[in-house]
Amino acid sequence: MGYLPSSIDPHSELRSALDEWKAWRTQLAATVKSYQAACTTLRTVFKLPLGRCRGYSMFAEAIAAIDAELGSLAAEERSLLGARMSILVARNEWVRMSVLPPEILIRIFQVSTPYCAREDKTSYQNFAGVCRYWREIAIHEPSLWNHVDIATDISEELSKMALQRTNKSPIHVHIHASRSRAPAVNAEQEVARVTTILSPHVHRICSVGLLIRPPSEALIAGILDLWLKRGSPKLARSLIIRRPHAMSTIPYPPQSRNGSNLCENSKLMLAALQQLELQRTKIDWDSSAYRGLVNLQLSFKVDDDELSPSIHLQQLANILSSSPLLSTLKLGTLRIEHPEDDAYPEPVRLKSLRDLSIFYIGEASLELLLRIIILPETPAELRIGLTPRDPIENALGQFLSLSGATDLYMYKWPKNPQSPFAQLSFLKSMSRLRMLVLDNYTIDDSLVIQTETVPPVPSRIPRVILLDCNISLAGLELLTAELRIQDLRIEKCQTTGNDENIRDIPIRLGEIYPEAGIVIASTDSRENWSYCSADV
């Protein structure tokens, strides 16, 4: 079966086989429809009261007849499923994309975005399971496996297999601790297990990503010691440490060791980094890790702001000035200090900046930060996310007015309930602003948007998103009119008055501003924009 002599024309055979398949497929559809109707009739009869029938014996005979057919019926259903899957496999092997040469398919696969699975049971590279041809190409192409996940709940064999598939190419390693560690495994054993897997390949690692939970914090020092001492400075590019559940900040190297004891290769590795993202983890401010960065993200958010690390203003200025290509800067819950008798450092123009996020920074620290930052003059894109705080709203407003920002996210700090930042007059002077996201604000008729000198042509903000806001129709009318909003998206918001239904707002507001697109959503799109999050 399935063998065709060489004398037979494949094209005519394909046409004949396809016509036959379509004919039987049509007959099967009609048969299935008739069978479903018969099932419905039989089910209806079974629901009739026993008194309307000639006796229970007829039901007993019917039950016996059904039982006799159920086994073969299940076998036929499985057979049909198998036939469908075989047709699907054959179809996948002959679609236009699957007959492309391997080198073109590899280029297409490389466009896919690899990700850190983190306890996700789904396939890491889904395209490897589409068909045999795709799988063969994917498995034998090292560049498709250059992101390797290692975790306590991923078997050593699986991690080693992924490392073998990289075939000595540069790799990105994602290490994440599972939610719970086996009772028989202590911290030292956990570190030893991961370092043993990585040790033969450490010279090929160009980036390390750590997602650590409190029981597994020893992994941070263990992995960094291995990578920094034995890694290749020519390959080192990125270090990301996330501690989302930690209650305090820890240093690297640990306080039990002297930072000056870092070997020469460790210093070269840190100096080679272009991306540094640290969550509740601090590397010494004078470290070479803060030089020549393209992406710098520091988040030290804890319950008590006084427990967050501090940095001298001059140290921060040195870090910024030593990274002229800095494109992303995110600072969260960082205390900035400056002695009164010291001169202020020269401001630093961040010519390449595209994303600026300033979250949970106190008023004194924020005032110091604004003194040393000069934003690009006319950036193609500049996205800013921040949490405004009193009493320097006027200074912050002036900073934003001169920023040339294209996207702005503002989150009203719950700890500062008396600071609604209602005076949003600076928005009218942000002529390049194309998207505004307001999070946790009250948008009612108390909102004031007015300036002493109103521009001749009011600025238009094409898109506005309200997240978790308390809103009223009057407030939205004012906001839409003053900012000339074209697209208003209302996400997870509540109305300020009991007499207003949030579902009615698009209709009522649309009657007043028919050209504005208004959408109510129960989902949160904040994760679509990295500058809208305080976390690394």
Separation CA 22–CA 43 (nearest Å) = 31
pLDDT at residue 63, rounded to an integer: 87
Phi, psi of 471 (to 5 degrees): -125, 155
Are the C-beta atoms of 170 and 208 separated by less than 8 Å?
Answer: no
Highest mean pLDDT: which range of 117-126, 175-184, 248-257, 354-363:
354-363
User: 91-111 burial string, b = 16+ CB within 10 Å, else e?
Assistant: eeeeeeebeeeeeebbeebee
Highest mean pLDDT: which range of 45-49, 259-263, 470-474, 495-499:
470-474
- How long, in residues, is the chain? 536
pLDDT at residue 129, rounded to an integer: 65
Among 491, 488, 478, 475, which residue's Cα sits nearest to residue 516?
488
Confidence of residue 456 (pLDDT cuts 50, 70, 90): very low
pLDDT at residue 1, rounded to an integer: 44
Weakest mean pLDDT among 36-45, 93-102, 347-356, 452-461:
452-461
Angle formed at CA 45 by CA 42 and CA 49, multiple of 5 degrees = 155
Three-state DSSP at 196 gives helix
> pTM (2 decimals)?
0.78
Q: At what angle do helices 313-321 and 363-372 cross, to 10 degrees?
A: 40
Burial classification of residue 46, based on how many CB atoms lie within 10 Å of its CB (0-12 exposed, 13-18 middle, 19 or more buried): exposed
Strands 348-349, 328-332: pairing is: unpaired
Q: Taking 50 as the threshold, does the pLDDT of residue 157 lie above it?
A: yes
Confidence of residue 184 (pLDDT cuts 50, 70, 90): low
pLDDT at residue 25, rounded to an integer: 93
> pLDDT exceeding 70 applies to what percent of the chain?
85
Burial classification of residue 216, based on how many CB atoms lie within 10 Å of its CB (0-12 exposed, 13-18 middle, 19 or more buried): buried
Sorted by where each begins, the domain ranges of the chain are 395-536
Region 393-422 average pLDDT: 75
Weakest mean pLDDT among 151-160, 248-257, 449-458:
449-458
pLDDT at residue 77, rounded to an integer: 92
Q: What are the pLDDT digits (tens) for 342-353?
A: 999 999 999 999
Separation CA 136–CA 147 (nearest Å) = 18
pLDDT at residue 221, rounded to an integer: 93
Region 288-308 average pLDDT: 87
Q: Taking 60 as the threshold, does the pLDDT of residue 496 lie above it?
A: yes
Domain 395-536: which CATH number of 3.80.10, 3.90.660, 1.10.3710, 3.30.70? 3.80.10
Cis before 324? omega within 30:
no
Are the C-beta atoms of 314 and 342 separated by less than 8 Å?
Answer: yes
The conformation of residue 426, written as its DSSP 8-state character, comes to G
pLDDT at residue 453, rounded to an integer: 47
Separation CA 252–CA 281 (nearest Å) = 7
The conformation of residue 199, written as its DSSP 8-state character, comes to G
Cis before 391? omega within 30:
yes
The whole-chain average pLDDT of the chain stands at: 84
Separation CA 209–CA 43 (nearest Å) = 58
The conformation of residue 141, written as its DSSP 8-state character, comes to -
User: 170-193 burial string, b = 16+ CB within 10 Å, else e?
Assistant: bbbbbbbbbeebeeeeeeeebbeb
Separation CA 132–CA 137 (nearest Å) = 9
Are the C-beta atoms of 44 and 37 separated by less than 8 Å?
Answer: no
Weakest mean pLDDT among 82-86, 219-223, 447-451, 517-521:
447-451
